[in-house]
Amino acid sequence: MKCDVERLSALVDGDLSARQATRLRAHVDGCAGCARALADLETMKRGLGALPARAGEDNWSIVVNRLAQPAPVEPRRLWPVLSLRWALPSVALMAMLAGGGAWLRWHKGRGLSADKVIAHAESEFHKADEHYRRAVDELRDLAEKERRGWPLPKRAEYEAAQAQLEAAVARCRQVAEQQPADVDAEELLFAAYRKEIRFYEDQMMREAQ
Amino acid sequence: MKLAVLALCLVPSLVAAEENEVTFANVPTPDVESITIEQPQGKLVLQGWDKQEVRVVAHKHARDDKALDQLTVDFLMVDGKIRIRTGVRVDNTFHPLPAADGAGIDLTVSAPRNVNLRAQTWAGDLDVSGFRSGAELSSRGGEVHAWDIDGEVRTAALRGKQRLSAIHGNVEADGTTGDVELDAIDGEVLEARVVDGQIVARRIRSPLVRLFSSSGGVVLMGTTRPGARYEILTRQGDVRLVLQRAPFTVNARAPQGAVKNGFTLTHAVGSPTTLQGEFMGGGPQLELTAAHGNVILEPQP
C-alpha cells in the first residue's frame, strides 16, 4: 500500500470501511511517516473539537440553523400496529375471532342429527300432550260438579261413555309413547283428546239447555 | 381496549349468523282433486289461484349449510292427490318433524282454488285464502287464519288464535287455548267452541249458530237473521250481544250473575237472573246462558 495522506484523513474522520481501515492501520504500523501523519491528524481533530462556537452565533441562531437542516431520517418502523399500545387488544381480537370461528365450526357445522331432531319433536309432543290433558282435566272437573244431582240411570250412562273415552285416550297415549316422534300416533292421540273435550262440552251445552 | 370490546360484540353476532335459502317449484296439476300439507317446520301460507298448477316456495333457514341441506320439502302426487310434507333428512331417512336448533322452513303454496284442502302446522301460523271447496285446518301451536273461502271450513287450534272471515259455508272451529274471531260467515251452520278463550262473532248470517266457551266470554255483534237460532253459552264469562234493532225472541239465563237487557221487550218475563221475551214481535231465537257470568243484551248504536 502506498502512503496516502488523504486516506489517513478519511481514517481519522471515520469515512473508511472497517476493512479499509484495518488494512490502512496495518500499513501505518509499519510506516513511520504515515504513523506521524496519523498522529498529527488525530491531534488536530481533538483540538478542533474543543474550540468554542463561532462568534455571533447565539442559542436562537443555533436553533434556527438546526431547524434549517434537513430532518434526520429515522429508521422506518415497518409494524406500527405492533406497538405495545395496540399489541394486546389486537392479540385479544385475533384470539377471540379465531376461538369464535373454531367454536362455530365445532358447534354449527355438524348439521342436524336424528337423535336431536327426534328429541326436539318428542319435547314438542309432550308440551302438546300436557296442554290437552290440562284442558280435559279442567272440563272433567266442571262436568263432575254438574252431574252430582243427576238421577242414577243418567249418571251410569254418562260414566260408561266417559270410561270408554278415557280408555281410548289411554290406549292412544300408550301407542304414542311407545313410538317416539310417530306423527300419526300423536295425531291419533290428539284426535282422541278432542273427542273427549267435545264429550264434556256437549254435556255442558245439554245441561245449559 | 376498544378493540377488545369490538371483538366481544363480533363473536355473538357470528353466533347469531344464519344461512338462508329460497327454493321454488312449479308443478302442472291438471287433474288435482286434493292437497294435504303437513308442515311441522314453520309457517304455512296457502293461496288459491286460477292456474292449474301448484307452486311451492320454501324459505329455509338454518345455522349452517349442512343443516340447511337437510331441510326437505317432500312432494308426492298420486291419482290427483297431492301430499306435501316438510321435514328433516338424516342419513337418507326423511323425518316429517320440526327441525331442532332453530332451523326450519316457511312454506308458501299456491294451488288451484277448487281442490279439497287439508293443512296442518305445528308451531307456525297457518294462513289460508282463496279456496272454493272448503278446508280442514289445524295447528298445534300457531294461529289459524282463513278468509275468502267457499265450502265447509273446519279448524282446530291447540294453542293459538283463530280468525275466520268471509267464509261461504259451514264452519266448525275448535279451540283449546286461544281466542276465536269470526266475521262474515254465511254457511248453514256455524259452531265454535273453545276451552279457554273468548269468542267474538260479527256479521254472522248462518241460520244455526252455536258458540261455546268454557272459560271466556262470547260476544255476538251485528244483526240476527230471520228464522235463525243462536245457542250461546259460557261457563265462566259473560255472554254479550250487541244487535241491530231487528226482531228476535230471547231466552236468557245467568244463574250466578245477572241478565242485563237494553231492548224494550214484549211478553217479557223473568228475574234478575233470567229473561224471556220478544223484541219487535219476536223472531230469531236467542238461547243465551252464562253459567257463572252475566248475559248482556244491548242495541247497536
Chain A interface test: which of B8, B101, B191, B295 (most A C-beta within 10 Å): B101
Of B17, B40, B70, nearest to A112 by CB-CB distance is B70
Is B269 among the domain residues? yes
Helix (H) and strand (E) counts in chain A: 8, 0
B177 in contact with chain A, both atoms CB, cutoff 8 A: yes
- Between A and B, how many CB-CB pairs are < 8 A? 141
Residues of A in contact with B140 (CB under 8 A): 124, 128, 190
Element (H, E) at B71: strand B71-78
Residue A55 predicted with pLDDT over 60: no
**Position B201: which residue type?**
A
Could you tell me which of B286, B185, B194, B210 has the C-alpha nearest to residue B243? B286
Residue B296 lies in a domain: yes
Rounded Cα gap, residues B104 and B85, in angstroms: 13
pLDDT at residue B292, as a whole number: 93
Interface test with A, best of B2, B3, B74, B136 (most A CBs within 10 A): B3
Q: Are strands B218-222 and B248-253 parallel, antiparallel or unpaired?
A: unpaired
Kind of pairing, strands B229-236 and B199-204? unpaired
In a domain, B134, yes or no: no
Residue B236 lies in a domain: yes
- Identity of the residue numbered B173: A
Cβ neighbours of A84 in B, within 8 Å: none
CA separation (Å) from A7 to A25, A32, A149? 11, 16, 133
pLDDT for B6: 45
Q: Please report which confidence band the pLDDT of residue A84 belongs to, taking 50, 70 and 90 as the band edges.
A: low
C-alpha cell at B254: 245467568
Q: Which amino acid is at B43?
A: K
Which three cell numbers, joined as nine digits, stand for B239? Answer: 255472554
Which residues touch A98 (CB under 8 Å, ≥6 apart)?
none
H or E segment and range at residue B84: strand B81-90
d(CA A112, CA A94): 29
* Residues of A whose CB is below 8 A from B211: none
Label residue A97 exposed, middle or buried (CB < 10 Å: 0-12, 13-18, 19+): middle
- Is the CB of residue B274 less than 8 Å away from at least one CB of chain A? no
- The complex scores an ipTM of 0.86
Distance in Å from the first CA to the final CA of chain B:
67
The H or E element that residue A125 is part of is helix A114-146
The answer on pLDDT for A37 being more than 90 is no
| Residue B264 forms part of a structural domain | yes
Is B210 near chain A, with CB under 8 Å?
yes
Nearest CA in chain A to B98: A121
Beta carbons of B11 and A96 less than 8 Å apart: yes
pLDDT in tens, chain B (301 residues): 554 544 444 444 444 568 899 999 999 998 899 999 999 999 999 999 999 999 999 999 999 999 999 999 999 999 999 999 999 999 989 999 998 888 999 999 999 999 999 999 999 999 999 999 999 999 999 999 999 999 999 999 999 999 999 999 999 999 999 999 999 999 999 999 999 999 999 999 999 999 999 999 999 999 999 999 999 999 999 999 999 999 999 999 999 999 999 999 999 999 999 999 999 999 999 999 999 999 999 999 8
- Residues A185-198: tens digit of each pLDDT: 999 999 999 999 99
Q: What is the mean pLDDT of chain A?
A: 78
Contact predicate B296/B220, CB 8 Å: no
Candidates A93, A100, A109; nearest CB to B6: A93
Tell me what pLDDT residue B17 has: 62
Give the pLDDT of residue A54.
47
Residue B120 lies in a domain: no
Asked if B177's CB is within 8 angstroms of A135's CB, the reply is yes
Angle between the N-to-C axes of helices A32-49 and A18-29, in degrees from 0 to 180, rounded to the nearest 10: 120
Domain that holds residue B227: 161-301
Element spanning B87, H or E: strand B81-90
Residue B252 DSSP label:
E
Neighbours of B28 (CB within 10 A): 9
Of B11, B91, B101, the CB nearest to A114: B91
In chain B, residues 142-161 whose CB comes closer than 8 Å to chain A: 156, 158-159
Q: Are B110 and B44 a contacting pair, CB within 8 Å? A: no
Q: Is B253 on the interface with A (CB under 8 A)?
A: yes
- Mean pLDDT, to the nearest integer, of A126-134? 94
Q: Is B76 part of the contact surface with chain A (CB cutoff 8 Å)? A: no
Q: Which three cell numbers stand for residue A42?
A: 488525530
| Whether A97 and B7 lie within 8 Å, measured CB to CB | yes
| Higher-pLDDT residue of A57, A10 | A10
**List of residues 6+ apart from B115 with CB closer than 8 A:** B32, B33, B34, B35, B48, B82, B131, B133
Residues β-bridged to residue B88: B71, B95
Cell readout for B103 is 332451523
Partner-chain residue, chosen from B70, B123, B176, that has the shortest CB–CB distance to A132: B176
pTM of the full predicted structure?
Answer: 0.75
Contacts of B170 (CB under 8 A, 6+ apart): B152, B153, B187, B188, B189, B190, B206
Q: What pLDDT was estimated at residue A56? A: 45
Residue keyed to cell 300457531:
B142
Residues of A in contact with B90 (CB under 8 A): 112-114, 117
Q: For residue B148, give how far its alpha carbon lies from the nearest alpha carbon of chain A (Å).
A: 27
Residue at B236: amino acid letter? Q
Check CB contact of B176 with chain A, cutoff 8 Å. yes
**Tally of structural domains, chain B:** 1
**Are A142 and B69 a contacting pair at CB < 8 A?**
no
CA distances from B298 to B239, B241, B244 (A): 11, 6, 9
Given this model, what pLDDT does residue A102 score? 62
Q: Which of B95, B105, B209, B218 is the best residue to mutate to test the A interface, defined by the most A CB atoms within 10 Å of its own CB? A: B95
Using the CB atoms, write b or e for A156-188: b if 16+ within 10 Å.
eebeeebeebeebbeebbeebbeeebbbebbbb
The pLDDT tens digits for A138-159 are 999 888 887 878 888 888 999 9
In the structure, what pLDDT confidence band is assigned to residue A106 with cuts at 50, 70 and 90?
Answer: low
Residues forming beta bridges with residue B205, ordered by sequence position: none
Q: Is residue B251 part of a domain?
A: yes
First vs last Cα of chain A: how many Å apart? 136
Check CB contact of B28 with chain A, cutoff 8 Å. no
Asked, for residue B301, whether it belongs to a domain, the answer is yes
pLDDT surpasses 60 at A70: no
Q: Where is pLDDT greater, at A174 or A31?
A: A174
